[in-house]
Amino acid sequence: MNKEFLKTLLETASPSGYEKNAALLWKNEAEKFTDLVYGDIHGNSIAKIANDKMPSPARIMLAGHIDEIGLIVSYIDPEGFIYFQTIGGWDPQVLVGQRVQIWTKDGQIAVGCVGRKPIHQLSEEARKQVAKIEDLWIDVGSKEYAELISVGDCAVVDYGFLPLTRDKFAARGIDDRIGAFVVLETLRLIKKEKLTEVVYAVATVQEEIGLRGAITSAFGINPQIGIAVDVTFAADFPGADKKTGDIKLGKGPVIAIGPNITPAIHESLVKIAEENSIPYQIRAEARGTGTDANVIQLSRSGVATGLVSIPNRYTHSPCEMIDLKDVKNAIKLLARFCEKNIGSLLKSE
């Protein structure tokens, strides 16, 4: 597992619709050990490995979205204060007072701070209310500096990779660049001579604004089996709701079960985890999961679908937190799954 690649990937801005730099980094890494690497018109990045000795193999698609939530510049006033809209699902409270990076059209990075009227100047009623995006702005220090920035430029919170313990770390945008990392590292770990199928790893785009990249890439690859890799909510912090899943960091990847998941895929993942002494957790999903698995399952005439997730604290905040043990075990689980002859799983239920 290439930890330096992971760190660089997590520190590369990639809001939905602006994934180009992260996608290029992913593809450059993929070219070191996969058989074929390419991008599609939508911006999805695709890597492929296969055992050339196998005739007419089935296709497995492993998908992790490479986009993160972010901001887009929508107006710059005459004094140089920058107003923005959110890309993806933000809690506005998180943004107040944050430092941000603004990525301009020519690739330069501007820095600024998210400003708000100080609490001393808020009315009593306003103090009781949550912050609203329309009441926030980015301050880059001067209108001259703001002239470097244009409407349509994207921004992310200026928060890098933060090691905490031997295995735990925090970073911005773990959701879901960790999934894009896992699917590629799975290809690195697979023993090609054991493959009876073609395996595609896909760094999908625009998941945070409607699972869009998974729709187009699944249509293009036309897999028989598709497994999405995303994060899921950990419940091992104060006040967490354990009733929807008592998920803990460091206790293994999470294997989903429910209507969005093909039973044979779930059962095979569980069996492989147990046969290989890989710790795992189970999360029940009562409907569409809100991940790439949701649309992969519905692609063309249908795809046998699974979902493997990394437990994540503080999702959609600048300090998302995961445990590398879960990442390593997810990679191992998926590699062993892909090496298994899946012909029997392709029969109709």
DSSP assignment of 135-174 equals G-EEE-S-HHHHTT--TT-EEEE----EE-SSSEEEETTH
3-class secondary structure, 348 = coil
Answer yes or no: 207 catalytic: yes
At residue 90, what are phi and psi to the nearest 5 degrees? Answer: -100, 145
3-class secondary structure, 254 = strand
Beta bridge partners of 322: 169
Helix (H) or strand (E) run with residue 310 in it? strand 304-312
Quote the tokens at residue 228: 């999405």
The answer to whether 308 and 229 are in contact (CB under 8 A) is yes
CA gap 25, 20 in Å, rounded: 9
Helix (H) or strand (E) run with residue 84 in it? strand 82-87
The answer to whether 162 and 169 are in contact (CB under 8 A) is yes
Catalytic site residue from 29, 68, 207, 285:
207
Catalytic (active-site) positions: 207
